[in-house]
Amino acid sequence: MCGIVAAVADGNIVPLLIEGLTRLEYRGYDSAGLALRDDTSGKLTRFRSIGRVADLAEQSKNHTATSSIAHTRWATHGAPSERNAHPHMSGGIAVVHNGIIENYVALREMLRAQGYVFSSDTDTEVIVHLIVHLAKTTPDLFTAVAQTCKQLEGIYAIAVIREGDNCVVVSRHGAPLLLGLGEHGNYAASDASALLSVTRKIVYLEEGDVAEISLAGIRAVDAGDTPLKIGIDRPIHISTLSAAEVEKGDYAHFMQKEIFEQPEVLAATLEMIGGAQSLSPNIFGASAPEVFADVNAVLILACGTSFHSGLVARYWIEQLAGIPCTVEIASEYRYRVSVPNPRQLVVAISQSGETADTLASIKFAKSLGMGKTLALCNAPESAIVRECALRFLTRAGKEIGVASTKAFTTQLAALFLLAITLGKIGGRVSAKDEAEYLKDLRHLPLAVQKVLALEPAIKIWAQRFADKHHALFLGRGLHYPIALEGALKLKEISYIHAEGYPAGELKHGPLALVDENMPVISIAPNDALLSKLKSNLEEVASRSGELYVFADADSAIIESARVHVLRLPEHYGLLSPVLHVVALQLFSYHVALVKGTDIDKPRNLAKSVTVE
């Protein structure tokens, strides 16, 4: 989604802003812009582009400035175009904005009546005119921004600059924004990675905070206008993000790098189990033993790929813990009338910790009296983590490719730990079983490594898919969610229409689509459902369908001219979904590579969906 970088420093900050925007490209965007303040005249110069950040770099390469704001936009209100790109300007003030202003129509009418002329189709433009309007009667930009924010309804992170002032004013509500404290200046950004080359000293702003960044330091107030002491009221965090995490190294794409990092990040996520034979519920937070002891059901809330990890977890939790588990798309749950159960553990799964619907769904569950909340997240200081009573942090490291890979498998590892823990507390997982499961988890990185070694064979399959327009993914039981995830990966990055189905549903609809042009990809682990699945595959083969089967080494599935079989090295019991999904990630990656799509930044998609 949109990204913000802002800086006030003692030297030229244009290269830093371009580098920062480049580091935010992974979030997804369709236009970019920046407003530079000329050090001599104090005037603002704006550059905007509907191309890549590289175009903006070209446009601004002969300019210098010591204070400026910059933005990548992911269109919500108004098409991707130069006139809708940020910054928006009025009366010597420029604004960049992430989020959506819900009352923009009313504000626009009010401002039009005052004579303000709108030149874009965006909701954002009301912010800049409102600041100009309020600045007429306020002593400084800081106060005008603070007053403006009080009139905004919706989600925002903003950065504001004015001709003649040597500062940038920022504020946030619902969308992430952090400050960076550097040796040669002070900064703000929507993501710490944008500031990596200048500072690791990060201050997270809270809901409604307003801050003025200047060379002299930071002046800030909270939502109630109470002055804030940076370092005390808002602590300074030292970011541990490494430069290697945000660079591709020898890989062609971030997605490929992230797929291959999975053995390592799974090991990191599971580090705390070490050589243990038994798990402590404390890995989910100090109060977890007490909270879990009273849990009689689980509700998982998530979006996208994180939703699919929740679907796998449902099989694990019901089997190991024997308690009902519901998994809901966060954007649906937050708006429906449901039956609250205060003893239900509400689990929010999110890679970014920022997804607007997931965050809102947790707040909604809490408003219904469900206070037993657990965040399963890859971003330590994120809004979702802060909203929940308990937390488990996956250690996938920064995920840049829009299509989630390593975040998914580390979520699965964490959810398996949760299922074992709940099963143990409920007396259904014996000490012996627990020790076995932990042993399986310890072996998982190596098992994944062996799947990665199948890449050459998967590449050959991928070649055959480049001219396809549709594909069906089938799985049963634990692997039904993996079929959904495989289909999602393929459509996200190769733009091939794909649908995931539980194989048993084949004859209730999708079988009508099967012919020689509809390849069927099937996940066929050697589990209790294999014989049922084989019958489903026969139904496809007898209708001239072409089958691509990801089987286990010992699944006796016979190859033929239209049945292609790729065998994963070992059957992995309950953890088998983790292995099969890695094979499907590689498959989608190589299909997209053959098709030549923009793999890390697929069209129209965003990495962090911070708006509804």
| Nearer of residues 171 and 352 to ligand G6P, judged by Cβ | 352
Count the Cβ atoms, other than its own, within 10 Å of residue 439: 12
Among 67, 355, 526, 555, binds ligand G6P (CB under 6 A): 355
Catalytic residues: 2, 607
| Nearer of residues 101 and 484 to ligand G6P, judged by Cβ | 484
402 binds ligand G6P (CB under 6 A): yes
Q: Minimum CB separation from ligand G6P for residue 294, in Å?
A: 27
The residue to which tokens 């705390």 are assigned: 272
* Contact status, residue 376 vs residue 406, Cβ threshold 8 Å: no
DSSP letters spanning 134-166: HHTTSSSHHHHHHHHHHH--EEEEEEEEETT--
305 binds ligand G6P (CB under 6 A): yes
412 binds ligand G6P (CB under 6 A): no
Q: Minimum CB separation from ligand G6P for residue 358, in Å?
A: 5
The residue to which tokens 């001709």 are assigned: 163
Count the Cβ atoms, other than its own, within 10 Å of residue 220: 24
The count of residues interacting with ligand G6P (CB under 6 A) is 14
Instruction: With contacts defined by CB under 6 A, name the span among 49-57, 78-86, 297-305, 531-539 that binds ligand G6P.
Output: 297-305
* CA–CA distance, 187 with 217 (Å, rounded to integer): 10
Residues 6 or more apart whose Cβ sits within 8 Å of residue 603: 495, 597
Which token pair is 295?
């849990």
303 binds ligand G6P (CB under 6 A): yes
Instruction: With contacts defined by CB under 6 A, name the span among 159-167, 221-229, 243-251, 349-357 that binds ligand G6P.
Output: 349-357
Among 351, 409, 576, 585, binds ligand G6P (CB under 6 A): 351
| Nearer of residues 404 and 555 to ligand G6P, judged by Cβ | 404
Q: Which residue is nearest to ligand G6P (CB)?
A: 304
Among 260, 609, 610, 611, binds ligand G6P (CB under 6 A): 609
* Contact status, residue 60 vs residue 44, Cβ threshold 8 Å: no
Residue burial 514-548, b: 16+ Cβ < 10 Å; e: rest? beeebbbbbbbbbbebbeebbebbeebeeeebbbb
Q: Minimum CB separation from ligand G6P for residue 400, in Å?
A: 11
Per-state percent for the chain, helix, strand, coil, to nearest 5: 40, 25, 35
329 binds ligand G6P (CB under 6 A): no
| Nearer of residues 341 and 350 to ligand G6P, judged by Cβ | 350
Among 66, 122, 404, 522, binds ligand G6P (CB under 6 A): 404
Residue 493's Cβ-count burial label (10 Å; 0-12, 13-18, 19+) is buried
Q: Minimum CB separation from ligand G6P for residue 545, in Å?
A: 29
Among 27, 97, 129, 607, binds ligand G6P (CB under 6 A): 607
Q: Smallest Cα–Cα separation from 165: which of 48, 8, 15, 46?
A: 8
Residue 166's Cβ-count burial label (10 Å; 0-12, 13-18, 19+) is middle
304 binds ligand G6P (CB under 6 A): yes
* CA–CA distance, 291 with 300 (Å, rounded to integer): 16
**Helices 455-463 and 576-595, packing angle to 10 deg:** 50
Among 60, 124, 143, 352, binds ligand G6P (CB under 6 A): 352
Q: Minimum CB separation from ligand G6P for residue 578, in Å?
A: 17
Euclidean distance between the first and final Cα of the chain, in Å?
11
| Nearer of residues 580 and 607 to ligand G6P, judged by Cβ | 607
489 binds ligand G6P (CB under 6 A): no
CA 237 distance to own-chain centroid: 21
User: What binding mask, one character per residue, do residues 359-398 give for ligand G6P by CB under 6 A, x or -?
Assistant: ----------------------------------------
306 binds ligand G6P (CB under 6 A): yes
350 binds ligand G6P (CB under 6 A): yes
User: What binding mask, one character per residue, do residues 59-88 give for ligand G6P by CB under 6 A, x or -?
Assistant: ------------------------------
Q: Minimum CB separation from ligand G6P for residue 607, in Å?
A: 5
Count the Cβ atoms, other than its own, within 10 Å of residue 499: 18
148 binds ligand G6P (CB under 6 A): no
Instruction: With contacts defined by CB under 6 A, name the span among 303-311, 435-443, 449-457, 530-538 that binds ligand G6P.
Output: 303-311
* CA–CA distance, 480 with 484 (Å, rounded to integer): 7
Distances (CA, A) of 9 to 12, 59, 190, 198, 372: 7, 21, 18, 10, 45
605 binds ligand G6P (CB under 6 A): yes
Q: Minimum CB separation from ligand G6P for residue 124, in Å?
A: 22
* Contact status, residue 18 vs residue 7, Cβ threshold 8 Å: no
Instruction: With contacts defined by CB under 6 A, name the span among 100-108, 146-154, 219-227, 301-309 that binds ligand G6P.
Output: 301-309
* Contact status, residue 537 vs residue 563, Cβ threshold 8 Å: yes
129 binds ligand G6P (CB under 6 A): no
| Nearer of residues 564 and 607 to ligand G6P, judged by Cβ | 607
Among 358, 410, 522, 588, binds ligand G6P (CB under 6 A): 358
DSSP letters spanning 464-489: TTTT-SEEEEEE-GGGHHHHHHHHHH
Q: Minimum CB separation from ligand G6P for residue 351, in Å?
A: 3
| Nearer of residues 30 and 527 to ligand G6P, judged by Cβ | 30
Binding site for ligand G6P (CB under 6 A): 303-306, 350-352, 355, 358, 402, 404, 605, 607, 609
